[in-house]
Structure 1
Amino acid sequence: MEKNYKYKAFISYSRQDEKAARWLQRAVENYRLPRHLAASLRNQGRATALRPVFKDREDLHASSNLGDSLRRALAESEYLIVVCSPNAVASEWVNQEIAEFIRMRSLDRVLAVIVAGEPNAVEAGHRPDLECFPDPLKYELDADGSLTDNRREPLAPDLRDGGDGKRLVRLKLIASMLGVDLDQLVQREAQRRVQILGAVAIFALIIAGALLFMTLQTLRANQIAEARRNSAESLIEFMISDLRDQLEPVGRLAVLDSVGARALKYYEGLGSEHMNADSLGRRSRALLLLGEIQRGKGNLSGASAIFSQVAADTAALLAAEPGNTKRIFDHAQSTFWQGYIAWENLDFDNASTHLSAYRDLAQRLVDTEPDNVDWQLELHYAYSSMGALYYQQGEWDLAQKVFSESLNLIETILAAQPGNPEYMRIYAEEASWLASTYLASNQYSRSAEFNAREYDTYEQLLLMSPDDRTVESRRVTALEIRATLQLILGEVEQARRTLAEGEAQAASLAKLDPENADYWKSHVFMSARLALLHISTGSPGEAPAHLDKCRESGASLSSLNADSSRWLLSGYAQCRIAAVRYWLAKRDTRNAAAAIKALEAMHAELPAPMQSHRLYPDVTAEILIYQGDIANMEGDVSRAMTHWQSALAVLDTVSQLTHAQSHIRFDALVRLDDVSTAKQLGRQLMDQGYLHHQLTRSYATLPP
């Protein structure tokens, strides 16, 4: 029988870390355990209570030594939570409390949380004063409680910026205190909200079915009851708007698909001859929902067909009522989605046509009702969409200008309603675009600035709504940009941690909603980059696990028929390149050649217009370089030189190389023994802030 403790935990902290300690106390005490998990623990005779948590030790302190009251509080606490920071290291109280608790209990009941500083600072090459782990955590104690020279390696969730994040820190602590698996706790917590919203969806569908049946019966009898139809259509409107807003954040495409299909079935049964303009508008919105779901599943061709059908309907409705803002808005939505699908497929001519029309419609809304905030937001979306088009075409200056204007607009709207979650999401998305654009144009400090703004905003949103899958997915995208920046700046270990965090989060999202193609794409990207990082830092043995994840996620994408050309050029190509690099590192030319063949086959399937895209030369040049490497390993130096020279020729077709493309060029020059040109290019890249570890390492090996 477990002992009953007065306190679930005692928080040990320095006075300077009071804010973090206060958050930890609330985070633990206010956590509500998922019902099924709580029942399971109770059936096993295990405790489920997480309160009270003792924090207010200042009321007990009367001297520089631990008093009886404080010792009693420690003895009556089941766990000790240590707030780790340089302040804690310097605090006599924190050190005494840790040592005293270990003497009373055991080290496995001590839970550490990093809030500042660096773990094992000296060993990691940092200043000693940055150490965050107090000595009683780092060194074993002897029988009388004195420190020994025997080291131990404390593990601690990371509450620092760029660390685990508040939600994961909270769950790690609770999992440890309850003795449950972290993944189990994460899944149970997610399932709790999904089940609630799923029940709402099912109930709505049942009620809708009953109402729709009554409506259809009335129609068959040729006695159309207008009030009943309005009631049914009001429920349909709820299903495709309010209910959708509740289900989308928890990532349930299957349920949303069912909602849209049920709504569409109603209108098919009703027949066009019985629909007025409002009914036709609602049918268009139901179709629009189905199109968005198909896009979310990666089925761009199916989504495109739906959006074209919707656009034809909304155009006819607008022609009949050109001054009706509702009709303008509906047609703007269908026009936007036509442009967005074209943009994803790198069909820039069609994208420009539709997105320009969308911008004009949004401007028409603002001109009609200038004070309407919704219309102002729509105009913001329209300009942001044009910025995305400029970005994809490599027009960095134009993209930065448009995104900056859009950001200023949303900042103004957000200032009038601070803390509005919708506006905060829009702000984060705009910051993300600016981070990507500055990154692509080699302005790394500006990119890092906007990436931090984006990530911090998502953290705030997740504090408001911890189970919002849409925000979690976008946070993973922010981690992709952060990891890329860290690699460019030579921050290898930071990049490794960021990629590992992103890989885990993307896997969790994909597990919750396996029909969401975006989740799988993020997982492929993170896994491929982790594999490449292990290979390039001399640890190829760590790569296969991530390559397997790449392949599995790629297979899941294939099962969804994800067909985005933009995706094939970037994310999935990274997975194939990682496989090539792995086999080359193992000097296995047969498997390396097979992996290159698969990559070439994927490229050959791309439509001809895609091959002129700015990303295409990167992959083409890398294929040629690796083909040269294989030939070189096989002793065919002449063939190797031909491939490497061909790689240079491909890059020569690019008018303005990015730093990443210049890095590929540097690699080709080194292989061709053009040392002088390679050194000049490498020095230029490093002087401009491009410090990727592969470049700097290769540059250092060049002869003087």
Structure 2
Amino acid sequence: MPTHAREAFLLETCGNDDALRARVEALIAGYEAADSFLEDSPIERPLLPPEEKIGDVIGRYALQRRIGDGGCGVVYLAEQKEPVRRHVALKVIKLGMDTNAVIARFTAERQALAMMDHPDIARVFDAGTTEAGRPFFVMEYVDGVRITEFCDEHNLSLHERLELFARVCLAIQHAHQKGIIHRDVKPSNILVARSDGVPTPKVIDFGIAKATQGRLTEETLLTGVGQFMGTPAYMSPEQAELRDFDIDTRSDVYSLGVLLYEMLTGQPPFDPQELVRGGIDEVRRVIREVDPPRPSARIAALSADACKAIAQTRRVPPPHLRNALRGDLDAIVMRCLEKPRTRRYGTAQELADDVRRHLRHEPVEARPQSTAYRIQKFVARNQLACLSVAAITATLVGGTIVSVRQAVRATAAEQTATAERDAATAAGRAEALARADAQRRQEQAEDLLTFMLGDFRTELQKIGRLNLLDAVGEKAMDYFAGLNARDLTDTALVRQSKALTQIGETRIDQARYPEAAAAFTTAYDRAAALCERHPSNADMLFERAQAEFWIGFVARRRGEFAEEREWLMRYRDSAIALNEIEGKTLRSQNELTYGYHNLAVLDFEAGDLKAARAGFLSERHAIAELLAANPGDLELQTRMTDIASWLGSVAERDGAYLEAVERYTEMSSGIETLMAREPDVVLWQERLAASVTFTGNLQAMTAQPDRAMASYDRAMQLLDALVARDPHNQRWLVVSLNLQLQRITLLLAAGETDTAHELLPPVREQLEALVAAEPGSHEFTRRLATAWRLEARLQMATQPPDARAAIDRAIALGNGLIQQDRANSWAVGEFAQAQLLAGRIAHASGDDAKARQHWQEAIGILGSRWENSHDWRFLDPAAQALVLTGETARARPLLERLARFGYHATDPLAASTLDIVSPPQGTNPNPR
């Protein structure tokens, strides 16, 4: 160093250590005074042989390129020439390291390495000395990257990372069984590459550091007295003691724990750069004395951007990452990192076993084996066998009802005994005990209900087995019905509101609408009571808003459109209030966009397509902004597919069929992406079936029957699988039956009446059973009307009396919807088609007056809906009715409009009626 630079260097390096500063300055002074003493060697030294270069041949190995450089050796990619040709990794000891001691230690180490034979350990093939006498090692060449880098580059999920890590543990266990301790387990010594598409780890550098007695990487530290056998950030406390005799296999378990910590959180427990900067003594102190934060706590302490980046590479939403680490994984990692060896896993095998227990949803050894914990694990891994658990819960809830009522009666009885002082005291004690016992039972039951209807319900919903909770829901509703919201504590109101909402959602999924409405109404009572007590509490307002939304949603499904609008407007107002109280959080923004989404749906149902399109496009823009900030949020991704579906429906009703196909394709693509991430979640199968069905409908009405049938068949496969999972799920069943009706319609159009005759009766019978079970569902009723209309269409040519009976049944069902004001555009269009067919059947029997009456009825039902509409549901039957009643001039503009859109009637009867005008020049009647 130049003299003028030394002062600053010494000040920075020595700090306040005056004694160290004095020793260094004395050494510098001695150097300056020595002048040229011993500048030249007093003896002749032999020239060192030149270092190997690319192209040289060492034994049977031709050096091709340099792939690594450590403190004591250089690693080359080499090609073995004989007896087989293959690539290997060849490591040559650097000049000056070829001492007898090193070679002797290497010979012993080579014997130990030769004993290992494990697919996830890089094998040692050969060893020897170069012509210059320097030792070299020949090892299996691993064309991979360090394990942490591989995991992040390929966005491996937590589950995939844990599977990979367990394999590494088993490889280390194999070495331990052969009497070898790695002592330097770290990401750069575990390389991963894909083998047949499967990530395969290879553990390298077994025993090399021990053999060479030197520093293999720039991260490895040496001391003047002892030696750090390993890398500081991954080093066990006993390694930091610098006592080689005190190290056993549990030292590698500690390093594996550090590795797992980094694979889960993106960084080791202690910052490597901070450790090195602190000096050797600080490194030893930190490793031996400082406890690192748990992985979940480390994630919680990160900035939002850092957490988002880490979560993205693990394919998990940022809010869920901490929860995924909390519990089992925290416990497993921290057991590995215990300072005393006796508290760690005894072997790498035990560590691998615990990791795999976690993956199988079994209790892990690292956590206390409480009853609640073991039950939770049992439920997680036995999702399809938990009917007995549901029954137990139902029994407990029923018992709680009895207990609460008995407690109330006990209280009343004791109160009557207060006439005497002693009796009053006893009564007071008895009352307190009774109330305490009742409160305890109530809390136990409601806690279990929250679990059963919350986390457990979510898991059952994913696999399509909500029917397991039927008994729980029924008992819970009986229990809640006996409680008055005014008498409940805040905690009880919150717990019950959530449970009731969950019951309602379960009933919605099963299309049991009256029961769902009862649950949501009771949930609203609880949540409203909370809001009255705490008008500025965002959580209370949120719970009330959920109930408002679901009440509106049930009203929609039941065809109660006025009630639907009222409750959805309430929900929108609550979302606005939540936004004002809570600010622009993800939750409040989500609720606000949902509020305006519902208004767009109402505009759509009212026929205001311009307003609906603007609303959905605005919602899509808002969700895209939220998704940019939360790229891993599955709910937001799902909503983007839902918006695409609604925009497709708007385009279809507006006659923009090409745009509608694009939107439905966008919906399908988004859902398939979600299915790839969560293949076992049945929600994605259901929604994919819907999007494929929407596309098939468009193909059917644009003269593409073969493509439409192919789409219907694909959707049918998805729905059949769902119904097979849960035959009691009415919603899946009715969607499947409706798809069958659409397939039957195509079969009729293709003249395959025998197949249609075979398929229709069982479909109609199942719809009859659904309507009998849920008479308030306009959806079930409309589809049953369609089934009877198709029955009449099939019987029309061969069995006119049967046809008349069938069409009368269809008209009666449609009349019921119209008179109750529960008919949406689908129901209105269906009823008009039924009247048209009734007229044709009457005309075929010679009753022209009756036929004309039916056709006029169709015109009356449609009213003025078709005048400025682009919706084929109104235009098709209106045009048919006008042509059949001789008003061809009024029908012509409607037909031209349909032709311009590319619409073709599916039923040959309708097509022949409408085929009175050619499409305008330039119109493509079959857009693709």
Counterparts of 2:894 and 2:501, CA distance in 1: 50
Contiguous gaps of at least 5 residues in structure 1: 1-51, 57-192
What is the one-letter code of the residue matched to 1:331?
R
Q: Which moved more, 1:688-697 or 1:430-439?
A: 688-697
Match of 2:513 in 1: 300
Cα distance between partner residues in 2 of 1:273 and 1:665: 55
2:330 aligned partner: none
CA shift for structure 1 position 336: 1.1
Counterpart in 2 of 1:580? 792
Residue in structure 1 matched with residue 149 of structure 2 by the alignment = none
| 1:185 alignment partner in structure 2 | none
The alpha carbon displacement at 1:629 in A equals 1.4
Would you say 1:698 and 2:912 are equivalent positions? yes
Quote the residue 2:561 is aligned against. Answer: 348
> Counterpart of 2:545 in structure 1: which amino acid?
A
Q: Distance in 2 between matches of 1:575 and 1:228?
A: 51
Deviation at 1:194, TM superposition (A): 10
Taking a change above 3 Å as real, the CA distance of residues 469 and 567 of structure 1, as seen in their structure-2 partners, is same
CA spacing shift, 1:205–1:668, aligned 2, 3 Å: closer
1:90-145, CA deviations, whole angstroms, 9 ceiling, x for partnerless residues? Answer: xxxxxxxxxxxxxxxxxxxxxxxxxxxxxxxxxxxxxxxxxxxxxxxxxxxxxxxx
* Residue 736 (structure 2) pairs with residue 520 (structure 1): no
* Residue 652 of structure 2 is aligned to residue 439 of structure 1: yes
Change (3 A) 1:507 1:595: farther
Cα deviation, 1:56-113, whole Å, max 9, x if unaligned, reads 9xxxxxxxxxxxxxxxxxxxxxxxxxxxxxxxxxxxxxxxxxxxxxxxxxxxxxxxxx
Of 532, 536, 550 in structure 2, the residue corresponding to residue 337 of structure 1 is 550
Which letter does structure 2 place at the counterpart of 1:603? G
Task: Report SS of the residue matched to 1:442.
Answer: coil
Whichever residue aligns with residue 501 of structure 2, its letter is L
Query: What TM-score, normalized to structure 1?
Result: 0.65
Equivalent position of 1:631 in the other structure = 842
Matched-pair contact (CA < 8 Å) for 2:786–2:810: no
| Mapped pair 1:553 → 2:766 | yes
Question: Structure 1 residues 613 and 287, CA, compared in 2 at 3 Å: closer, same or farther?
Answer: same
Deviation at 1:429?
1.7
The match for 2:756 among 525, 531, 543 is 543
Q: In structure 2, do the counterparts of structure 1 residues 351 and 495 end up closer, same or farther at CA, with 3 Å as the change threshold? A: same
Are 1:196 and 2:382 matched, yes or no?
yes
Deviates more, 1:336-345 or 1:530-539: 336-345
Deviation sequence 1:604-656 (CA, Å, 0-9, x none)? 33362426754454233222221221122223345434433443444344243
Label 1:581 to 1:419 Cα distance change in 2 as closer, same or farther (>3 A).
Answer: farther
- 1:483-507 Cα offsets, whole Å, 9 max, x none, are 1111222211111111222233323
Q: Is the 8 A contact 1:444 1:485 kept in 2?
A: yes
Residues 591 and 454 of structure 1: CA distance in aligned 2, closer, same or farther (over 3 Å): same
Measure the CA separation in 1 of the matches of 2:719 and 2:762.
Answer: 11
Deviation digits for residues 495-550 of structure 1 (CA, Å, limit 9, x no counterpart): 11112222333233223222222112211211111111111222212212331342
Q: Verify: 1:404 aligned to 2:617, yes or no.
A: yes
Deviations, residues 339-375 of structure 1 (Å, cap 9, x unaligned): 1222223333322221111111112222222242122
Which residue in 1 is equivalent to 2:229? none
The reply to whether residue 477 of structure 1 matches residue 693 of structure 2 is no
* Distance change in 2, residues 1:316/1:414 (3 Å): same
Q: Match of 2:790, as an amino acid?
A: A
In the alignment, which residue of structure 2 is the partner of 1:452?
Answer: 665
Aligned 8 A contact 1:520 1:556 in 2: no
TM-score normalized by the length of structure 2: 0.51
Alignment CA distance shift 1:212-1:532 (3 Å) = closer
User: In the alignment, which residue of structure 1 is the partner of 2:832?
Assistant: 621
Q: Which residue of 1 aligns with 2:809?
A: 598
Is the counterpart of residue 285 in structure 1 residue 471 in structure 2?
Answer: no
From 571, 574, 578, the counterpart of 1:365: 578
| Partner Cα distance (2:656, 2:485) in 1 | 55
Aligned equivalent of 2:627: 414
SS of equivalent residue, structure 2 residue 817 = coil
How far is the alpha carbon of 1:279 from its aligned partner? 0.9
Please tell me the residue identity of whatever aligns with 2:559.
L
Using the alignment, how far apart are the partners of 1:263 and 1:543 within structure 2?
45
Report how far residue 438 of structure 1 moved: 1.8
Question: Which whole-Å CA distance do the structure 1 matches of 2:442 and 2:774 have between them?
Answer: 38
In the other structure, the counterpart of 2:305 is none
The structure with the largest helix share of the pair is: 1
Contact 1:253–1:515 at 8 Å: present in 2 too?
no
Partner SS state of residue 394, structure 1: coil
1:334 to 1:488, Cα distance in 2 relative to 1, 3 A: same
Q: Quote the residue 2:26 is aligned against.
A: none
Aligned residue number for residue 39 of structure 1: none
Cα displacement (A) at 1:419: 4.1
The alignment partner of 1:222 has SS state of helix
> Do the aligned partners of residues 597 and 212 (structure 1) sit closer, same or farther apart at CA in structure 2, a change above 3 Å counting?
closer
Question: What's the counterpart of residue 383 of structure 1?
Answer: 596
CA distance in 2, matches of 1:269, 1:697: 59
Which position in structure 1 is the counterpart of 2:703? 490
**1:669/1:678 contact within 8 Å kept:** yes
Match status 1:668 vs 2:881: yes
Determine the structure 1 residue equivalent to 2:675. Answer: 462
Read off the aligned partner of 2:817 and give its amino acid letter: L
Letter in 1 for 2:680: D
For the Cα contact (< 8 Å) 2:559–2:823, is it kept in 1? no
Matches of 2:389 and 2:461, distance apart in 1: 17
CA, structure 1 residues 299+462, in 2 after alignment: closer, same or farther (shift >3 Å)? same
The alpha-carbon deviation at position 227 of structure 1 amounts to 8.4
Q: May I ask how many residue pairs the two structures share in their alignment? A: 516
Task: Report the residue type matching 1:445 in the other structure.
Answer: L
SS at match of 1:418: coil
Q: Distance in 1 between matches of 2:398 and 2:745?
A: 55
2:436 alignment partner, one of 207, 224, 232: 224
Which range moved further: 419-428 or 594-603?
419-428
Q: 1:639 to 1:261 in 2, by over 3 A?
A: closer
CA offset at residue 320 of structure 1?
0.5
| Equivalent runs, 1:51-130 vs 2, <5 Å | none
String of CA shifts for 1:451-510, please: whole Å, max 9, x gaps. 111111221222222232222222222123111111222211111111222233323322
Quick check: which has more Rg, 1 or 2? Answer: 2
Structure 2 residue aligned with 1:123: none
What letter corresponds to residue 585 of structure 2 in structure 1? Answer: N
* Higher RCO by CA contacts (8 Å cutoff, separation 6 or greater): 1
CA contact (8 A) 2:603 2:611 kept: yes
1:500 touches 1:526 (CA, 8 Å); kept in 2? no
Segment of structure 1 superposing worse, 611-620 or 525-534: 611-620
Instruction: Name the % identity.
Output: 24
Change (3 A) 1:550 1:267: closer
Following TM superposition, by how much is the alpha carbon of 1:54 offset from its aligned partner in structure 2, in angstroms? 8.3
Rounded to whole Å, the distance in 1 between the matches of 2:670 and 2:387 is 29
C-alpha separation in 1, matches of 2:887 and 2:877: 14
Conserved 8 A contact 2:394-2:471: no
Change (3 A) 1:269 1:451: same
Over 3 Å counting, the alpha-carbon distance change for 1:500 and 1:556 in structure 2 is farther
**1:631 touches 1:639 (CA, 8 Å); kept in 2?**
yes
Distance in 2 of aligned mates of 1:599 and 1:684:
29
